Chains A and B, each alone.
Chain A
Amino acid sequence: MDITTQQTTAPPTAPGPAAPADKRAARGATRPGDRIFLGLSRGSGIFVLVLMAAIAAFLTYRASIAIGKNEANFFTSFEWNPSGVPPEFGIAVLVFGTVVSSVIAMVIAVPVSVGIALFITHYAPRRLGGLIGYVVDLLAAVPSIVYGLWGVLVLVPHMGGLYSWLDEYLGWTGVFAWEGGPARSLLTVGILLALMILPIITNVSREVFRQVPRMHEEAALALGATRWEVIRMSVLPFGRSGVISASMLGLGRALGETMAVAMVLSPSFDIGASLLDPGGGTFAQNIASKFNEATVMGQDALIASGMVLFVITLLVNGAARLIIARRKEYSGANA
């Protein structure tokens, strides 16, 4: 007992005569194991950075070639003809399709996910909650190609009811007008994307809600709060930033989803007034469906569009961070 305490409390290195040696000791690089590990981890860190820089440089280079030769306005043109003479292409349709389908997905998925997560953590009996959680976990593991197949074979043929209902009651807005075409529209894509991101958002929200400190909930309970009031006063405020992060994860997936969108959407390079019209396109879907047959110039144009998607994703993440940071003072973290 005595001996072990002495061993563990003894200074790991004898105090060296020179200051630099001391400094190195403090950083833990004197033992061979430490030194090897430090070298390895530093090496891999640098390697990743170099790799990223190389990829970025390559993509930027190829994208800039395409944009340099482009005769149309890259941001506003509705054309996608990069191999034509002269080459003309623009991302307006893709921005529209990507943003709209993702927004639809978020509008549906976030409230439903939060609801499911609250049900699992605060309403359902333990067994039932566990079962639902397990099923949601399984959903998260389904590959997107399977969602795509299901979308084409099941969702698209069965959208008629919803579409005619929307047309009847909201058709006058124009946004929900339906001419009876196949349901391979941005709305269907949005609904499918909602289903795909629902498990991610639910899972993360569930973990966040589960971590609400018992004492915060009891504070509300002891004041005479009902279950819903406890959720409103303690659970949701505590989980707010977590839910935002979860939604951003989901949004990231929705923005970049490729296969399922490519399978469901009937691609066309224009922007319809109605969300129910077949057609439209998203960045990822456009790249997936065009890349194989593209010329070098066509590939470069697709790379350029991919970089725009990357920038959009970055902006979305930045915005989420801002939202979280703005109310940090009030977050549960410093309780």
Chain B
Amino acid sequence: MAKRIDVSGLNAYYGSFLAIEDISMTVEPRSVTAFIGPSGCGKSTFLRTLNRMHEVTPGGRVEGKVMLDEENLYGAGIDPVAVRREVGMVFQRPNPFPTMSVYDNVAAGLRLNGKHKKSELDDVVEKSLKGANLWNEVKDRLNKPGSGLSGGQQQRLCIARAIAVEPNVLLMDEPCSALDPISTLAIEDLIGELKEQFTIVIVTHNMQQAARVSDRTAFFNLAAVGQPGKLIELDDTERIFSNPSVQATEDYISGRFG
């Protein structure tokens, strides 16, 4: 069910502050696209425009088009709630629902979609937890609170929760930045498996991670603090890391700034 994302002329504001300007890009289905760039260049902001989460921040406003296959997410009559059911998101800090058990966390999205049959939920919960490589660790404690897991397990629980509703696109905002190297590797492996089914976009500050997990890499930059962030270039990951076409990308990757 993976879908193509096609963004054109996208601006995002916080109040009157233009955070990202005139972004256009295409993300192919069943691929992993990494967003890299210095802090504050608008990676998270852009990511959040892709599932209409940007507008939940006070003053958040978006101009432009985001096409998910044939559908403009910002078209008239599109319900943002429906968009978010189609475009899943994993956050920087693991955020399982603290008052819910492991099972209920994974089932939460399904229940929102009106699925309540126990047998059906059981199947999806198991499948999603297996998909997130977490099943073996939690199968004996499905009814324990999700917040009792380790950070890495919590993050995989959040991934399981996101994939349980079978979204078309999975957005991840620095999903490993709060995790140890082993959990990070587990999640990177997982991303490799998930791209068979989903269109994945991942924000990361870790160049090696971008190089390891992504097919395509987008480099964002901003001219100065207070200026809007822009997409500098988007290309195959190999090419970005070996022979980028823009000097700023090369400077950033080789650590000359940012």
Contact = CB atoms under 8 A, between A and B. Distances in A.
Contacts of B108: 220, 223, 233
User: 4 smallest A-B Cβ distances: which pairs?
Assistant: A224-B85, A237-B99, A335-B98, A222-B89
B158 A219 contact: yes
Contacts of A224: 81-86, 109, 112-113, 165
Interface in B152-202: 158, 161-162, 165
A253 interface: no
A219 B84 contact: no
B95 A215 contact: yes
Contacts of B93: 215
A221 interface: yes
A238 B98 contact: yes
A185 interface: no
Contact of B51 (A215, A219, A222, A229): A222
Contacts of B100: 233, 237, 330
A226 B98 contact: no
A62 interface: no
A334 interface: yes
The residue among A229, A237, A333, A335 with the most chain B CB atoms within 10 A of its own CB is A335
Interface in B103-156: 108-109, 112-113, 145, 147-148
Nearest to A221: B56
Interface string A216-260: 101111111110010001100110100000000000000000000
B241 interface: no
Given A237-B97, A332-B98, A335-B147, A219 B91 contact: yes
A215 B83 CA distance: 19
Given A226-B81, A238-B99, A335-B95, 20 more contacts: A126-B58, A215-B95, A216-B98, A218-B53, A218-B91, A219-B91, A219-B95, A219-B97, A219-B158, A221-B84, A222-B162, A223-B165, A224-B165, A237-B99, A237-B100, A329-B148, A330-B98, A330-B147, A332-B147, A334-B148
A331 interface: yes
B114 to A, nearest CB: 11
Contact of A331 (B56, B89, B98): B98
A226 B147 CA distance: 23
B124 to A, nearest CB: 14
B95 A218 contact: yes
A330 B89 CA distance: 24
Interface in B201-220: none
Interface of B: 51, 53, 56, 58, 81-86, 88-89, 91, 93, 95-100, 108-109, 112-113, 145, 147-148, 158, 161-162, 165
A64 to B, nearest CB: 47
Contacts of B56: 218, 221
Contacts of A330: 98-100, 145, 147
A229 B112 contact: yes
A208 to B, nearest CB: 14
A179 B165 CA distance: 59
A211 B63 CA distance: 31
A238 B97 CA distance: 9
A222 B112 contact: no
Contacts of A335: 95-96, 98, 147
B141 to A, nearest CB: 12
Given A221-B56, A224-B84, A225-B81, A233 B97 contact: yes
A333 B187 CA distance: 26
Contacts of A234: 97
Contacts of B147: 330, 332, 334-335
Given A215-B93, A224-B81, A331 B112 contact: no
A221 B113 CA distance: 13
A213 B94 CA distance: 12
Contacts of B165: 223-224
Nearest to B104: A233
Nearest to A224: B85
25 contacts: A126-B58, A216-B95, A218-B53, A219-B97, A222-B84, A222-B88, A222-B89, A222-B91, A222-B162, A223-B85, A223-B161, A223-B162, A224-B81, A224-B85, A224-B112, A226-B81, A229-B112, A233-B108, A237-B99, A237-B100, A330-B99, A330-B147, A331-B98, A332-B98, A332-B99
B146 to A, nearest CB: 9
A334 to B, nearest CB: 6
Given A215-B95, A238-B98, A223 B84 contact: yes
Interface string A186-211: 00000000000000000000000000
